[in-house]
Homo-oligomer: A and B are copies of this chain.
Amino acid sequence: MDFFELTTDPLDVGEVARRVVPQECGATVTLDGYVRQFTKGRETLHLIYEAYEPMAVKEMQKIIEQAKSQFEIEHVGIMHRLGKLEIGETSVVISVAAPHRKAAFEACEWLIRKLKRTVPIWKKEVYANGEEWIEGDTSPPSLPISGS
């Protein structure tokens, strides 16, 4: 069973990994992203994640559908945490179950890259002396850039 959820509760990596397991599959690959204490030498106190929730859910569903059409995988589970996260807490978990582990590795890596580029979630880093909304490195290639 696929799932894609946003939650303000702490994430349980093992629970996500177990939920995607069908009895026909042999392996699950799980990506677990978490709050770093240091980014480029600067200390983060905590993070705030905010989402455009209904659109984020739609975009998560889209990337799962794309992954399932591109890779030989069975089930995908994505959970992204929102709100305030302390250092070391898990922000995102992506689990992919597949009959063969190679496809699971490839799909999981593809999904996290895609999620970071397309799912409307934003991260604010809070430092000792300020805070900053982080802008994604790259824009999704098919997206318009507007503005002045």
* A→B interface (CB under 8 Å): 12-15, 17-18, 21, 23-34, 36-38, 87-88, 101-102, 105, 108-109, 112
Q: Name the prevailing secondary structure of the A interface residues.
A: mixed
Closest Cβ–Cβ distance, residue A143 to chain B (whole Å) = 23
Complex: A138 Cα to B87 Cα, angstroms = 43
Contacts of A34 in B (CB 8 A): 21, 26-28
Contacts of A36 in B (CB 8 A): 23-26
Contact, CB under 8 Å: A29 / B31: yes
Q: List 11 A-B contacts (CB under 8 A).
A: A12-B14, A14-B15, A23-B87, A24-B36, A25-B36, A27-B31, A27-B33, A27-B112, A29-B31, A102-B109, A105-B105
Contacts of A18 in B (CB 8 A): 13
Contacts of A31 in B (CB 8 A): 27-30, 101, 105
Contacting residue for A37 out of B24, B37, B101, B109, CB 8 A: B24
